[in-house]
Structure 1
Amino acid sequence: MTRVLRPAVPAGTADPPPEAGASGPATAPEWVPTRALGRAVLLTGLLLILGVLLGRIDLVVLAVPFGLGTAYALRHRPSVAPGVQVDADDTHLVEGGPVAGTVAVDNPGEVDFDLVIVRTLVSPWLRIDRAGPDTGAGPDAGVDEALPAGGTDRPFVLATPAGSGSDLLLSGEALRWGRHPIGPAGVRAVACDGLVACRPVVSGARTVRVYPVTEPFEADEAMPRAAGLVGGHRSRRPGEGGELAGVRVFGPGDRLRRIDWRVSLRARQLHVAATLSDRDAEVVLLLDVLAEAGRSGGIAGSASVLDTTVRAAAAIGEHYLHRGDRVAMLEYGPSARRLRPATGRRQYLTLLEWLLDVQVEQSEYEPYDQVFGPHLLSSNALLVVLTPLVDPRSAEMLARLARSGRFVVAVDTLPAGVGPPSRGPWTPVAYGLWRLERENTIGQLRQHGVPVVAWAGAGSLDLVLRDVARMASAPRVGMR
């Protein structure tokens, strides 16, 4: 069955502010003579010297056109270097979507540039397929040159008259989530019929934000425990809500508007309709960034652990935020980045921005106390831990959370078929032993009450959340 993907970024978001440092330097480099000017001066001088020494007027006559042509070309020399700026539109840019960039070259002087040579760098995760000058005939009229992969490493030539500018349009596809630079771009202009050229002018880079593409995620099961009695989840606790739980005899404290008159007239005794309370929940998404495995191939290729983690976190966060729950984000790593719990559309946009900066950070120290400090997490929060279970500290962290009485769900983000590179005849044997040890660790976690489920998109957590909710509502045995 083919899985349908959809972008995680919502429609109607505000345009991002322009990034600072995207324009060229303020000081203009000086103009220097080219080899063509040196050859013209050398040839003119040699012909004049030979004509005078040998007394040949024909050599002098032959040197006159070169000298006059050089002087005529240099009658108007430029004094201002070209300006260059890199810009890109990253509004609603998602993996697999089109990306467009512009390298704008400006001629602020009064002398025409014969040609402007433009060269720019682009992130390997932004595949630029076509590039060309903007002719002004339409949005795609100037993009007329197809490029192979990595084709932006070649120079492009633009014509820039005095007091105007030219744009080099870049179009392609965003291959992977994250913050990817377009630029820096280098520009060198040639004037006076190719006799003078300015030194290279280098602009800053423009970073574009590419949001992850997520699979549609739905979790229909009730939350294990919630902090309030107002929210979007149906609970197992009777109260004021919209979910009908049954009909019972009228008692003290029942509201008159809850009376079921049909049943009351039939039974000749007042009955009221009982409902289940709607409760809100706090969901904490914990991202294990201690280890990375697999190779990222972009949206159309294989997924690494980090790719699966970010896309799954975006899908789960979107689902619970749209249901009115509070969602928080944590990193289990040395930096211990944290996103405070909140609700609404603003929290969803903040969550997407927060995910763009997720990266693997290895450390030899135990980050548990740094991440789970005192009074940082609610005791009623549902912890969804996205972990590949590669580092032994990840399993120890899950066991400690389970022993502390928290509701923990572990999502296995290790892609299927990921293995080490073959370095000898014993590599498959060692990898097989490691897989057996990992399966043993998963079994021990389940014995400690931590459900471990592999991420499979929509419906991945339904069965797990149902079991956790059932355990949370079950009576606990107390010791006398």
Structure 2
Amino acid sequence: MASQPLTIPPEIRSRLKRLRLRTRSDLGERGFGMHPSRNKGSGIEFAQYRAYEPGDEPRRIDWKLFARSDKFFVREAEEESPVSVWILIDASASMGQADRARPDHTRLDAAKLLALCIAELAQMQGDRFGWVSLGEDALGLAEPRGGRAQIDRLQLDFGRLQPGGSFPDAAVLAPLWERIGAHDLVLFLSDCFDERGIALIERLAKAGREVLCVQMLTTEERDFPFDGGYRFRDQESGEALIGDGAALRASFLTRFAAARAALGERLDAAGIRHCAYVLDERIDRPLQVFFGRGADAP
């Protein structure tokens, strides 16, 4: 069953307009979508002089240099070219987890809205964006493109996307290595509970891709507000644990904090910028962490 169409609340959209998607290489310098390419042309960033050739535009001649040398030279610049943004969204069964206080809003619902915010930022800056849904042991892949039509396609695809199955294995993930380019930006939206997902982004980072990771968490994982007897069930394996919530709280919170710290150390070692997002937080919080004023790479 398709969910309601994705829409960005007006107050979130207003805050997005103050952000600039940026990579580690140009933090504090220029917005993402303003990366200089290796092509020479008539862009903004000066690259070099070359001798005038018939057909060159007179406005590109450096007249001051002509006055000194009595020769015609034109200024070449590096063309500012858009970069491809890839949104990798975990759609395995565990992403269907929600809080009891809001059972109709799952991790995956939040990840889809965050993905739409990322797409809007890319579209505003003239960058291409695409996405890969990772679930049901398969890939759903949309090649990076620009424009409003691509936003519409994302909304349509994600409206049909439901959590299920386990995270795809290496054989299913193989097409990604041919699709994601060396200078592309990758944003991974996942609960980060599956080793295959972490291995995927580690491999991408090792291959030189810029990777950002957002761990999607429920408020109950953060707070563990359970009292009385409960059956806790793993949504992917089906394994269950019966226990008293109050008695389990201290142990769970300690172990969960240790697991998150270990994940953070692992991502830091791989050079992957990361943050956690909890379902009761503003959806643009991860983007403020990565791209807001004062953001910095770890």
- TM-score by length of structure 1 reads 0.44
Between the aligned residues of both structures, percent identity stands at: 18
The alpha carbon displacement at 1:287 in A equals 0.3
Instruction: Give 1:398's aligned residue.
Output: 201
The Cα of 1:383 is off from its aligned counterpart by 1.8
2:55 counterpart of 1:252: no
1:7-86 aligned within 5 A: none
Is 1:438 aligned to 2:233, yes or no? no
Structure 1 residue 285: deviation in Å?
Answer: 0.8
2:290 aligned to which of 456, 461, 465: 461
Q: 1:261 and 1:296 mapped to 2: Cα distance? A: 71
Distance 1:284 1:458, change over 3 A: closer
Please give the per-residue CA displacement for 1:311-362, whole angstroms capped at 9, x wherever unaligned.
1100111222344433222112224222333332222111111111232224
Match of 1:295 in 2: 99
Could you tell me which residue of structure 2 aligns to residue 352 of structure 1?
155
1:115 maps to: none
Residues 421, 428 of structure 1: alpha-carbon distance in 2 compared, 3 angstrom cutoff: same
Shift of 1:267: 8.3
Residue by residue over 1:246-302, the C-alpha shift from the partner in whole angstroms, topping out at 9 and shown as x without a partner, is: 7x6x4336745322325654788766545331213222211012323442766xx99
- Which residue number corresponds to residue 370 of structure 1? 172
Secondary structure of 1:384's match? strand
- 391-400 or 234-243, larger mean C-alpha shift: 234-243
* 2:232 aligned residue: none
Q: What is the CA distance between 1:465 and its match in structure 2?
A: 10
Separation in 1, partners of 2:82, 2:111: 25
SS in 1 for 2:261: helix
> Which residue pairs with 1:164 in the alignment?
none
Residues 389, 438 of structure 1: 8 Å contact kept: no
CA 245–454 in structure 1, closer or farther in 2 if over 3 Å, else same: farther
Do 2:123 and 2:147's aligned partners in 1 also have CA atoms closer than 8 Å? yes
Structure with more relative contact order (C-alpha pairs < 8 Å, separation 6 or more) = 2
Alignment-derived partner of residue 210 in structure 1 = 5
**Pair 1:402–1:457, CA change in 2 (3 A):** closer
Task: Assess, with a 3 A threshold, how the Cα gap between structure 1 residues 378 and 241 changes in structure 2: closer, same or farther.
Answer: farther
| Matching residue of 2:237 | none
Q: Hey, what does 2:34 align to over in structure 1? A: 233
* Aligned-partner Cα distance in 1 for 2:204–2:177: 14
Unaligned runs of 5+ in 1: 1-177, 181-208, 226-230, 469-480
Amino acid at match of 1:252: A
1:282 matched to 2:84? yes
Q: 1:223 to 1:318 in 2, by over 3 A?
A: farther
Once residues 153 and 273 of structure 2 are traced to their aligned partners in structure 1, the CA distance between those partners, rounded to angstroms, is 29
Distance 1:234 1:223, change over 3 A: farther
After superposition, the Cα gap between the structure-2 partners of 1:378 and 1:391, relative to the gap in structure 1 and judged at 3 Å, is closer
Q: Which among 285, 301, 306 is matched to residue 108 of structure 2?
A: 306
Q: Equivalents in 2 of 1:235, 1:466: separation in Å?
A: 21
Which residue of the partner structure matches residue 428 of structure 1? Answer: 250
Q: Which amino acid aligns with 2:171?
A: D
TM-score, with structure 2 as normaliser: 0.67
CA distance in 2, matches of 1:349, 1:425: 48
Quote the Cα distance in structure 2 between the aligned partners of 1:328 and 1:232. Answer: 15
Q: Residue in 2 aligned with 1:107?
A: none
SS at match of 1:369: helix
Partner of 2:44: 243
Structure of larger gyration radius: 1
Closer, same or farther: CA 179–219 of 1 in aligned 2, 3 Å: same
- The within-5 A match list for 1:103-114 is none
Q: Secondary structure at the match of 1:285?
A: strand
Q: Secondary structure at the match of 2:43?
A: strand
Q: Contact 1:294/1:419 (CA < 8 Å) preserved in 2?
A: no
1:387 corresponds in structure 2 to 190
Aligned counterparts, 1:156-175, within 5 A: none
Q: Secondary structure at the match of 1:426?
A: helix
Amino acid at match of 1:409: L
Match of 1:338 in 2: 141
Q: Give the direction of change, closer, same or farther, for the CA distance of 1:282–1:238 in structure 2 (3 Å limit).
A: closer
| Aligned alpha-carbon RMSD (Å) | 3.9
- Distance change >3 Å, CA 305–CA 371, structure 1 → 2: same
1:452 maps to 274
Q: Amino acid of the residue matched to residue 121 of structure 2?
A: H
Residue in structure 2 matched with residue 179 of structure 1 by the alignment: 2
Higher helix share: 2
- C-alpha separation between the residues in 2 aligned to 1:435 and 1:441? 10
Instruction: Quote the Cα distance in structure 1 between the aligned partners of 2:175 and 2:267.
Output: 22
Deviation, structure 1 residue 367: 2.9
